Structure 1
Amino acid sequence: MRSIEVHEVHIPRRARLLAKTASRMALYAAERFFKRLIKRGVDPEEHVKTIRSASGHYALYIHMPFCHRPLCTFCCFVRYPFHEKRHREYIDALLQEISWLASTAEGAHIETLYIGGGTPSIDVYSLARVIDAVREAFGGKVQVSTEANPRDLTDEAVSVLRSAGVSRLSIGVQALEQKRLLELGRLNNTVEDVYRAVDLVKGKFETVNIDIIWGIRSDTPAVVAREAARALSLPVDQVTFYPLMPAPGLRELEKKRREGPWHPLEHRLYGVILGEALSRGFRPATPWCMDRGSRLIDEYVVDYDKFLALGISGIGRVGSYVYVNTFSLEKYSRLVRERGFPTVIGSMVSTNSDMLYYSFTAAFGLRWPPPRIDLYGLRGYLLASTGSAVLKLLGERRGSNKITQPGSLYLLHSIQRSIYMAVNMLREYGMQVQI
């Protein structure tokens, strides 16, 4: 095999040490938060009252849970094998929930709609119905981002998505070598599907993103550099490099295999991703998303600290109120029929939890200090000052609110990975007990 030049950015030792400690602290704190949240249930009257109070600019997330068989083994999102009757029933309930939310949260202005899964593109006509329903219910101009499996992207599917007003298409590539797809347990599309799909959508959407997964046990700096170079050479606007983020069940299996979950060369793998991106004119929009200058990214929570959620397993945030929808398909349809909404967990969170969430999402968007940290008074000032001191230690310039240094990016990657691993704990639990 022909060798390639590897562009690797050095991650300083102090950043690696900070990341190792911070990531474990973040995982412990976030899992503790979600375990406590699970126990609280929801007060339906308080939930409706809180949703009714929503006002101002919001993002909206909609979950489409159905996927091609076989289901990917690396994925921790809530998903079910596609079944035509269950899918049809789900879409009917989802349209009803959209109507309920629009009539309840009348003061909320939806600016961005993000549709994830699952595999939203598994039925593009139903997907278009959902997008049209959101626009009709909420009015105004809505930017639409949706995920897609490369095998679903045909001329007809692309035409339907364009007609529905999709502005950002995120293609779940995951790997550009068949061997890596097999190792990830991604068996429902091929590498040939990827290249065909990317060529097909070129120039047809405002933003095209592809996702790549890294951190599997066979990864080395050379392997990841080759994968990153291939991905970044494609005619796309963004490449988002997601680390593996195993839920507790998979983490326990990895522990028995003595594999992780943290890859022993994680800092070097991240260093080559960053190096390959920078060498090709990409810049980090987040520690994971390498961007040519597009507007929308995968992580809508970076730009919106308030977001509503529809569909099974959706997680929303209205002020300091956090809510979670049911993980059960049967319960979802029943609850929407009975009362309009499928929420099973809903609670106000503490000021400290609210501040930490807001601050970490701002930092993940590479901004520090967070723009509105002063709203948290003295504790906000102390957090901002501490964060600034840590970032200065990692080489950030005093007075700049843009995070750019490799050590800082690696630290934020490690923390956010742990937070999302805790969210995956919630998803795993929700699927197991079907709350």
Structure 2
Amino acid sequence: MKFYFDILGGRLLEAFISSFLASKVLKDISFSHDVNIHLISTVNPSLNIRVPFCRFQCPFCLFVNYPYNEAISDLYVKAVKRELKLYSTYIKESTIENIYFSGGTPSLISNRLGDILNCIHELFGFIGNVAIEVNPLDLNDETLSRLVNTGINQISIGIQSFNSGVLEGIGRKYSSEVALNAVKKAMDGGFDYVNIDLMFPLPNQTVSSLLQDLEIAVKLGVHGISTYPLMLLPYTEMYKQLKDRSVNIKKMEKEMYMLILDYLMNVGYDVRSIWSFTVKPGFYNGPFEYDEYLGIGPYAWGIIDNSFIINTPLLEEYLVMVKKKIPIAALARFEGEKSMIIWLSRSLYHGKASKTEFYKRFKVGLDKKFKWLIYLMRLSGLAEWNADSLRLTRKGLLYGSLTTKKIVIGLLMKMHKATGYYPPL
């Protein structure tokens, strides 16, 4: 009887911790339309430049993107340069640390990225890496050469799966062969870091086919593998297709996450974040993982000076608004205890939270401030102290994934509401 009680009690405690952290983070992010950019300061931020164009709308995508159009993309590039110019008046004497072109599909405007990078060099200077997200369909020799010659040294390829049946089930308009060739070309293309994105659990996907995806990625020698859980929001086409299977999907998601974690760690990949693994630690960050970064472009967001800033979401509004001012639609400010819980959640997303870093930032001990939360995490086997850091265990990484997914879904819905952006249901 005690055995079953321990199992049930443990699961209840783990679920409680997950729900508590997610709800606490979401509660502490409260958006306002009263935006005063003069009160915000930052030094040497990174940039997340969102390119809102796609070849087609994927049924699982959490954002509505725009079909590529050369004339409109020219207007977009001019608007981005104008937004960068506006920011240059607020962050004087700063250089840009890293740049990430996120999507949409930035590779669709590969011929214009040099204009944006030149603008950044002129306005701020630049000291770090330049990364880009790409669609496998765009990776021909000409585009790869253009990206490298432009100064882009890191690339993340949205593979999602190497299985043609799975790709067909999620509406990706390329085959397994195209996906394989795209990665091979990128590995030989002169980039310092090649990352691929995989997803789970997907229609037509099995544990066996996911394992095959991982084995292929490792055999190809990619430096990083990001594995993102499927997120079903009510306005996505895939939600309508799979909403009656949500219970089975949740069960499969846990099994698949543990497979990903165990397999990649066993073959020599380190945990870079809850959803990302690497053989080159400390060399690459995703677009939302920098300590401080500005969001540039329509529905781009950033975190600077304890503020979560979202740009106006619609492209047509962005093109007009940026002619007059920085196109911010909403801002959430977090200070004091709010700032601490946000910092803790962002740190644990990378698998650990440093006591030294926490004290340096907040002048109070991590183990003192979150005494009971840390006690419960250790009691339930989700975390343990390892030298200076509170580290998530194997089980802790699983529940960290489930918690992060709750936060992302909840945050996106709050962002949509705050900006007046309601994708079609």
Structure-2-length-normalised TM-score: 0.87
CA 113–17 in structure 1, closer or farther in 2 if over 3 Å, else same: farther
Aligned twin of 2:84:
98
Cα offset for 1:290?
1.3
CA distance in 2, matches of 1:115, 1:105: 20
Q: Does residue 1:269 correspond to 2:256, yes or no?
A: yes
Q: Does residue 1:352 correspond to 2:337, yes or no?
A: yes
Aligned twin of 1:403:
391
Give the counterpart of 1:181 among 167, 170, 178. 167
CA 65–14 in structure 1, closer or farther in 2 if over 3 Å, else same: farther
- 8 Å contact 2:160–2:197 — kept in the other structure? yes
Considering Cα pairs closer than 8 Å and 6+ residues apart, tell me whether 1 or 2 has the greater RCO: 1
User: Which secondary structure state, in structure 2, belongs to the residue aligned with residue 75 of structure 1?
Assistant: coil
Q: Does residue 1:369 correspond to 2:354, yes or no?
A: yes
Pairing 1:198-217 to 2, within 5 Å after superposition: 198-203=183-188, 204-216=190-202
CA 27–77 in structure 1, closer or farther in 2 if over 3 Å, else same: farther
CA distance in 1, matches of 2:233, 2:157: 23
Residue-by-residue CA offset, 1:172-193 (whole Å, 9 max, x unaligned): 1011111111222323x33222
Cα offset for 1:84?
2.1
Cα offset for 1:30?
4.9
Q: Does residue 1:145 correspond to 2:136, yes or no?
A: no
CA distance in 1, matches of 2:13, 2:109: 44
Aligned twin of 1:65:
52
RMSD of Structure 2 on Structure 1 (CA): 2.8
Q: Which residue identity does 2:403 align to in structure 1? A: I
Give the counterpart of 2:284 among 297, 310, 328. 297
Cα offset for 1:161?
1.0
Q: Which residue identity does 1:225 align to in structure 2? A: L
Pairing 1:120-159 to 2, within 5 Å after superposition: 120-159=106-145
CA distance in 1, matches of 2:243, 2:145: 48
CA distance in 2, matches of 1:343, 1:386: 38
CA 425–406 in structure 1, closer or farther in 2 if over 3 Å, else same: same
Q: Which residue identity does 1:415 align to in structure 2? A: T
Aligned twin of 1:432:
422
Number of equivalences: 411
CA 318–120 in structure 1, closer or farther in 2 if over 3 Å, else same: same
Aligned twin of 2:232:
246
CA distance in 1, matches of 2:288, 2:93: 20
Aligned twin of 1:235:
221
CA 432–22 in structure 1, closer or farther in 2 if over 3 Å, else same: same
Aligned twin of 2:176:
191
Cα offset for 1:381?
4.5
- 8 Å contact 2:63–2:423 — kept in the other structure? no
- 8 Å contact 1:323–1:343 — kept in the other structure? yes
CA 122–264 in structure 1, closer or farther in 2 if over 3 Å, else same: same
The 10-residue stretch of structure 1 (191-200 or 172-181) with the greater mean CA deviation from structure 2: 191-200
- 8 Å contact 2:355–2:390 — kept in the other structure? no
User: Which secondary structure state, in structure 2, belongs to the residue aligned with residue 285 of structure 1?
Assistant: strand
- 8 Å contact 2:161–2:213 — kept in the other structure? yes
Residue-by-residue CA offset, 1:105-162 (whole Å, 9 max, x unaligned): 1143321111101000012111222122222221132311111111111111111111
CA distance in 2, matches of 1:98, 1:153: 28
CA distance in 1, matches of 2:392, 2:337: 27
Aligned twin of 2:207:
221
Cα offset for 1:103?
2.7
User: Which secondary structure state, in structure 2, belongs to the residue aligned with residue 431 of structure 1?
Assistant: coil
| Unmatched 5+ stretches in structure 1 | 1-11
Aligned twin of 2:33:
41
Aligned twin of 1:257:
244
The 10-residue stretch of structure 1 (238-247 or 106-115) with the greater mean CA deviation from structure 2: 106-115
CA 100–210 in structure 1, closer or farther in 2 if over 3 Å, else same: same
Q: Which residue identity does 1:98 align to in structure 2? A: L
Q: Which residue identity does 1:193 align to in structure 2? A: V
Structure-1-length-normalised TM-score: 0.85
Aligned twin of 2:295:
309
- 8 Å contact 2:50–2:297 — kept in the other structure? yes
CA distance in 1, matches of 2:291, 2:90: 20
- 8 Å contact 2:355–2:388 — kept in the other structure? no
Q: Which residue identity does 1:355 align to in structure 2? A: M
- 8 Å contact 2:166–2:205 — kept in the other structure? no
CA 19–98 in structure 1, closer or farther in 2 if over 3 Å, else same: farther
| Unmatched 5+ stretches in structure 2 | 1-6
Q: How much identity, in percent, do the aligned residues show?
A: 23
Give the counterpart of 1:422 among 379, 403, 410. 410
Residue-by-residue CA offset, 1:67-125 (whole Å, 9 max, x unaligned): 002x1111113521212222111111111111211232114332111110100001211
